[in-house]
Amino acid sequence: MFRLIPDWLLYIVVIAAVVFVLFRVDQRADAPAALPESPETGAFLPPPSDYDPEVMVEVGPIASGLGSAFAISRDGWWLTARHVVDGCEHVGLVVSRGAAARVLEVRRALFADIALLRTNSAPAALALDTSERRFQIGQRAFHVGFPQGQPGEAYSRLIGRETLVARGRYDVEEPVLAWAEQGRTSGLHGSLAGISGGPAIAANGQVIGVTVAESARRGRIYTAAPSSILRLLRVEQIEPQGAPAPRLTAENYGQESDDLRRNLAVAQVVCVAPGDVEPPV
């Protein structure tokens, strides 16, 4: 069973109306118009190279905020982005209106923008596909989470590899996958901030990455490489055990994403920074 965080803790964060803007490339504009749909995938994704383009991001100071996470095992292991939970005094997963499950443990990767969370259990878990050498340029991904603190999703097509260079509160250089945004669910405009830590799901329902950054001006979404996810799981000796989501298409991904959130396979993360919350007298 989930152990609940007191209501006052969640209410303070919600009243503050903070949404993550800690880790970004550019969030000042909507994504450009979607690229023309391509029915065909291309060549297989090449391995990482020293010649991969670099994308620079800034990791801001520790602040309370909201992000996304997804379960990878029914015994309570979740994946999220490192910058969503790094430095938080309290971390919780929203399980219903006005209540959050306390995160018992946070394990951050030092080599990538990903982290593991542990709760007592998880109602549902998603399957991972870390065989990135079989990925193809042009294949789709569906990004699910809580952009701007609200349920939402986008979909994209794979462009290739880049190197994410993070500077600020911590410094990391890591291989990431770059995706061209193709569309969003109705009503979602502006930044995708808050979707960080959510899953990038292939059309077959398997998770193929963790969403970690965006460049709204360029219409790009960046995900942690599956090799980084696999490395963290091996370091922490965690065996993921999940099931694929239903098959996703550009027509049904909104409804299926709602089901994933409703079943708590994907959940909203609450971060409370040190000093932001004082216990009630």
99-152 pLDDT tens trace = 888 999 999 999 999 999 999 999 999 999 988 888 999 999 999 999 999 999
Smallest CA-to-CA distance from 223 within 245, 196, 249 is with 196
Q: Please enumerate in sequence order all residues whose Cβ is within 8 A of that of 91, keeping only pairs 6 or more positions apart, or say none.
A: 85, 102, 103, 106, 117, 269, 270, 271, 272
Compute the mean pLDDT over every residue in the chain, rounded to the nearest whole number: 86
Q: Is the domain covering 4-27+44-272 a CATH 2.40.10.120 domain?
A: yes
pTM recorded for the entire structure: 0.87
Counting Cβ atoms within 10 Å, is residue 110 exposed (0-12), middle (13-18) or buried (19+)? Answer: exposed
H or E, element range at 102: strand 99-102
Q: How do beta strands 152-168 and 54-59 pair?
A: parallel
Residue at token pair 């490395």: 231
Domain boundaries, the chain: 4-27+44-272
Contact between 267 and 103 (Cβ < 8 Å): no
The residues with which 164 forms a beta bridge, in sequence order, are 55, 174
Q: Please enumerate in sequence order all residues whose Cβ is within 8 A of that of 193, keeping only pairs 6 or more positions apart, or say none.
A: 19, 20, 21, 24, 27, 147, 148, 214
Positive or negative: CA dihedral 177, 36, 193, 143: negative
How far is C-alpha 210 from the geometric centre of its chain's CA atoms?
5
62-109 pLDDT tens trace = 889 999 999 999 999 999 999 999 999 999 999 887 788 899 999 999
The residue-averaged pLDDT of 15-43 equals: 47
